[in-house]
Amino acid sequence: MLLSLLDFIALVFFFFCWIGYSLFAHKRAKTTHSLSSILCTLRIDWMQTVMHKDNQIADASLIGNVERTVTFFASSTVLVLAGVITVLANSEEVVQVLNELPLTPATSAIMVQFQLAVLALIFIYAFFKFTWSIRQFGFVSVLLGASVKYQQQNRGEEERVRFAHHAAKVLDQSGHEYNKGLRTYYFALAYLTWFLHPALLIVASSLVVFILYRREYNSRVLRELLATHGFTPGKKNRS
């Protein structure tokens, strides 16, 4: 068999942590204050403020700065993929190095090629997330340009609020896609430990989940962001 029992368990646990945490974070954000939930609120505030401004140059500049950051990660992902493919073509040398390391189990070229192929798929997923985020930030720029007519044509407050809400949702989705790409990088770093030992992959995956959870639900920056609206970490008040 290509994978030993421990390798198989480690790989399944890795994807369980990655996919499981993503689903957990998405569902929990609806009932508990988190970075995602407060940023959504702040984005709505931002777009509502835009609807009462005659000039959106500063707002477009802010969107452009974030878009350039996402573009940097997308470009970096392409370079990482090129590196992974290069290593894949020279897997024999990689096997030689790994087999010389202490405390690492013996491996084969086929096993290393399989590990590198999965790693390449992980970064391909990240690339699609980053590029989709870039496109959505572009959509937000279009919405900022379209918002000018609401000042020029003196639209009603109800129309402005509706437009701001939908624009904020597009901006929020852009941020979510960017976040998914960053999360992929976190788990990709954990995945690299599999080349040393499958047990390390289990430990590293658990550590990444712990770090992500702590930053999302119990970080200092979360408390400061929540304080801007008088919120505190914990369950949302449904009243």
User: Is the confidence at residue 70, as pLDDT, over 50?
Assistant: yes
Q: Please say if the pLDDT value at position 154 is more than 80.
A: no
Compute CA distances 152 → 102, 112, 130, 149, 179, whole Å.
71, 62, 35, 5, 35
Which residue matches tokens 């984005």? 43
In the prediction, which pLDDT does 209 show? 97
Q: Region 79-84: what's the mean pLDDT? A: 94
Question: CA triplet 184, 186, 191: central angle to 5 degrees?
Answer: 85
* Residue ranges covered by each domain of the chain: 5-227
Tokens at residue 141, please?
């720029």
Say whether pLDDT at 238 is over 70: no
Coil/strand/helix, residue 171: helix
- Average of pLDDT values for 162-181? 94
Averaged pLDDT of the chain? 90
d(CA 120, CA 78): 10
Residue 126, Cα to own-chain centre: how many angstroms?
A: 8
Q: How far apart are CA 80 and CA 64, in angstroms?
A: 24
What is the average pLDDT across 169-178? 95
Question: Does the reported pTM lie above 0.85?
Answer: yes
Rg (CA), the chain: 22
